[in-house]
Amino acid sequence: MDDSDEEYLSGITPSSRFSSIVPESPRSKEGVSTRTRARKSGTTDDNLKGNNGGYSWEDEYQRSWDIVKDDDQQGSFESMVQQIIENRKKKIMKNPATPFQRGIIRTLVIVIDGSNSMAEKDLRPTRLTLSLNYCIDFIIEFFDQNPISQLGIVLMRNGVAHLVSEVSGSPQYHIDKLRQLKIRQHNKFEPSGDASLQNALEMARALLKFNFGTTSNNTKNSKEVLMIYGSLFTSDPGDIHKTIQSLVKDEIKVSIIGLSAQVAICQEIVNRTNHEPKLSRSKHYGVILNESHFKELLMDFVTPLALTEKEKQEEASLNNGVPIIKMGFPSKVQPIVTSTIGNTDFTVEFPQLNASFPTQGSDESKDVVEVNTNTTLLSSTTIGYQCPQCKSRVTNLPTICPVCGLMLILSTHLARSYHHLIPLAPYKEVPIAESYDSEYCYGCQLKFPRGVKPGTHPGVLESMTSSRYRCFKCTNDFCINCDVFVHETLHNCPGCENN
């Protein structure tokens, strides 16, 4: 408690006074509360409260070792088992998302602040760590709800923009990159320097442009930037207003989540790129109040952006059903390069590129931003996917065929959401008995504990649970690990697939 208070009061950096709407230092208690009062009207009071019903800075400091309950020996095992079972049920019962339109290609670039200000400990453990954790959650949710969308991640640090992960449709790829970043946040990528809005936005613009060759047909796609911004100023190499203009021209919509206080330039970026009146309060620019509010703001961006007025009218004019989209499933074409050594022709067959990580592991992944280099040009003309309708080639999926306008997509992108369509029925726990039919888990071949007479061995695992979870379709028994794995990750029942 004492420690963190000292941080609070002494944490006023000279830089934080620039270009902030709130003249007070945001970390002094007064500054924060004026800001929150100003923003209160939009949200309900409950959202502003921390765990104890007060504001988060009034909460008692929670040490991680206090959360772990110090049970006496007997109860601990039982409660552990109970907890595991509870967890399992909670996970499986988690409702599949309510249906809404998933057929929109969103391309999103997440910009994370990695400047000095992110080392602040007003979010626990630090702003950066918490932001990275929330981003991982966000990515999982994002791809769950937007299966045919793509995203990329950029980090602002030392006045430049760093590419963390390229624009790609694979959640795992982004999560791995964020994990790497998290691991090294103390020895290599610790928050440092200033943030540069211009550099980051220019890089985001390049990423979004590079991945969308055509702007002619954007009814089914949107280009977005989501920025998590902890600093209170920006140090730019040029005129940021020019960057804003180009963003508007390229129809890129920027949303910002501020971690400290409202900043005028952020407000302007958001208002201009979202075509809102100047200095109006926008739902695309939020300043967080506490951890849970941060998460709430972030998760709001999972659902596709609302339609603008013009688009709404179009929608209403033909609103008599759900749109149906024609799509093509292209085949991947790999280049065959022949070279001549002596008098013999050699055919070089290139190693396979992974479809879901279009450029991972290949040469051009290293210099995807340097559009001018030869390698990029060479590879973009040779490796590609062929439109099944007009046979023209594109390098990146999903996209819209520049020649015939067919939406091109990998079938694996669509299939990502299919487990919502055909949900797997939950397994039921087998009641405790003296003996069971099954000796081994059908999925992983794990040996089950043997049955015991009820009441003979109190406190022993076998007398509290049968450890067997049965699929009622195929009547096979599974262990708790397989149960969770099958319902969480695999979405197939191995037993049912075998009948």
Partner 1 sequence: MEAISDRLFNEHTTDNLQDDPSLLTIILDVSPSGWFKIQNVISIQDVVKSLIVYLNSHLSLNNSNQVAFLITSPLKSKFLYPKLDNSNIIKDSVSKDMYRQFKIVDDIILEELNQFLNEMIDKIENNKRSTLTGAISLGLTYTNRMLTLDQSILTTTASAMTTTSLANSNQNSSNITSSSSTSMKSRMLIISANDDDDELTYIPLMNCIFAAQKMKVSIDVAKLGFKNSSYLQQASDATNGIYLHIENPKGLIQVLSTAFFIEPNLRPFIILPANSNVNYRASCFITGKAVDIGYVCSVCLCIMSKLPEKCPACNSEFDKKIIEQLNRVPQIRKKRKLESNGNGNNENNNN
First to last CA, the chain: 60
Which of the choices Zn ion, partner 1, none does residue 44 contact, using the CB cut-off of 5 to 8 A by kind?
A: none
- Return the one option of partner 1, Zn ion, none that residue 285 interacts with (CB less than 5 to 8 A, by type): none
What one-character-per-residue DSSP string does 462-494 give? HHH----EE-TTT--EE-HHHHHHIIIII-S-H
State the nearest-atom distance from the C-beta of 280 to partner 1, in Å.
30
Among 3, 53, 100, 374, binds partner 1 (CB under 8 A): 100
d(CA 181, CA 370): 22
Distance CA(256)–CA(283), nearest Å, equals 9
The site map against partner 1 for 224-263 (x = CB under 8 A) is -------------x--------------------------
Contact set for partner 1, span 172-201 (CB under 8 A): 172, 175, 177, 180-181, 189, 196, 199-200
Q: Does 474 bind Zn ion (CB under 5 A)?
A: yes
| Residues contacting partner 1: total by CB under 8 A | 123
Q: Segment contacting Zn ion (CB under 5 A): 65-73, 112-120, 202-210, 434-442?
A: 434-442
Per CB under 8 A, the segment of 9-17, 42-50, 265-273, 445-453 that binds partner 1 is: 445-453
The residues in 400-419 that bind Zn ion, with binding defined as CB under 5 A, are 401, 403-404, 406
412 in contact with partner 1 (CB under 8 A): yes
Would you say 20 and 26 are in contact if contact means Cβ atoms under 8 Å apart?
yes
Site map 316..355 versus partner 1, x via CB under 8 A: --x-xxxxxxxxxxxxxxx-x-----------xxxxx-xx
| Dihedral (CA of 492, 494, 498, 499) sign | negative
Stretch that binds partner 1, among 5-13, 97-105, 118-126, 257-265 (CB under 8 A): 97-105
Specify the residue for token string 């690990």: 481
- Give yes or no for residue 489 binding partner 1 (CB under 8 A): yes
| 467-490 residues labelled b (16+ CB within 10 A) or e (exposed) | bbbbbeeeebbbbbebbbebbeee
Q: How far is the CB of 21 from partner 1 (least distance, A)?
A: 27
How many angstroms from the chain centroid is the CA of residue 83? 28
Shortest distance (Å) from residue 331 CB to Zn ion: 13
Own/partner contacts of 24-33, CB < 8 Å, gap of 24 or more, are 26/232, 26/260, 26/261, 27/120, 27/122, 27/260, 29/57, 31/261, 32/57
- Integer Cα distance of 84 and 95 in angstroms: 19
Site for partner 1 in 414-433 (CB under 8 A): 414-422
Binding mask 124-153 for partner 1 (x = CB under 8 A): ---------x--xx--x------xx-----
Residue 121, amino acid: K
Q: Exposed, middle or buried by CB within 10 Å (0-12, 13-18, 19+), for 313?
A: exposed
Binding residues for Zn ion (CB under 5 A): 387, 389-390, 401, 403-404, 406, 441, 443-444, 446, 471, 473-474, 479, 482, 493, 495-496
